[in-house]
Structure 1
Amino acid sequence: MKSCISIILVMLALGLSSCKQDSDKPDFMPEQDKMASLLTEIHITEALTRCNYIQDRRKSNNYYKEILDNYRLSPEQFDSCIAWYSNNNKEYLELYTLVTDKLETERQLILSRYYSKEYPKSIWQELDSIQQINGFLNWNYNK
């Protein structure tokens, strides 16, 4: 029984120490909204890389460097910012709430442009024409 209680106390102490608030916020850390914008840009770049819109991994690394340069951060400083947020769970959750909101706003903007009159309707006609040509070629080939 005593060993069970001591195990629970050790686990509780470890749990509380991992949630410790570290007030030593780096001086170079951007404000929360700017940090959210930075992370939004990084996540969009990651998505483009994973979907092969950025085919060369070295190019994506250049994009990351450019993003960090725009926010006047070195990779080491960025890592320090992320480490600080990972030790401050409440702020980290607030930050990622902003990031997901920004990503959703970007998604809505893209969708609204895609379905609006700004998006060229002719592309659908072009795709339809290509499908008709392919169908015609397949029809002639099968005769």
Structure 2
Amino acid sequence: MKYFFLTVLIIFVSCGSKDEPDNLIDQSKMVKTLTEIHLLEAKIKAIKIYPYDSIQVIYDHYESLLFENLEISKEQYEESFNYYLENPNKFEKIYNIVVDSLLQKEKTSNR
């Protein structure tokens, strides 16, 4: 997963930065959003349901609940994600905090 994001980051670095979207999710909320999305992905991945379509339906449902809980829309998330992706310094700063948060959650859950 880590390599996927690094690959995507490298691809978009050459695109330059773009203007902030009007509904940009601030960095601290983006950290929380991405952390929760990664936790959700891990939980869904652990479910052994086939076919894949069924897992996707479950993921989409919980993702929409997550966005509702965080009071953001999927479109707002996607625009913000793309903005940060096109601004590598901001993106790296956000993901460093996300990784630290996930590692901390992993440590506390293993106790």
TM-score range normalised by the length of the shorter chain: 0.7 to 0.9
Matching residue of 2:108: 109
Which amino acid in the other structure matches residue 65 of structure 2? E
The residue number in structure 2 matching 1:48 is 43
1:27 counterpart letter in structure 2:
D
1:37 aligned partner, one-letter code: K
SS at match of 2:71: coil
1:31-82, Cα deviation, whole Å (9 max, x unpaired) = 21211111111001111111117x4522221110011112222211111111
Unaligned residue ranges in structure 1 (runs of 5+): 1-14, 113-143
TM-score, normalising length: structure 2: 0.75
**Number of aligned pairs?**
95
Percent identity, aligned pairs only?
A: 27
Indicate which of 20, 31, 36 corresponds to 2:16.
Answer: 20
Q: Cα distance, 1:19 vs. partner? A: 5.3
Q: Cα RMSD (Å) of the superposition?
A: 2.1
CA distance in 2, matches of 1:89, 1:19: 10
CA contact (8 A) 2:25 2:76 kept: no
User: Is 1:19–1:88's contact at 8 Å kept on the other side of the alignment?
Assistant: no
Question: Structure 1: how far apart are the matches of 2:85 and 2:100?
Answer: 20
2:27 aligns with one of 32, 51, 72: 32
Divergent runs of 4+, >4 A = none
1:93 CA drift (Å)? 0.5
Do the aligned partners of 1:40 and 1:99 also contact (CA within 8 Å) in 2?
Answer: yes
Distance, in Å, in 1 between the alignment partners of 2:14 and 2:78 is 18
Q: Which runs of 5+ in 2 are unaligned?
A: 1-10
TM-score for the superposition, normalised by structure 1? 0.59
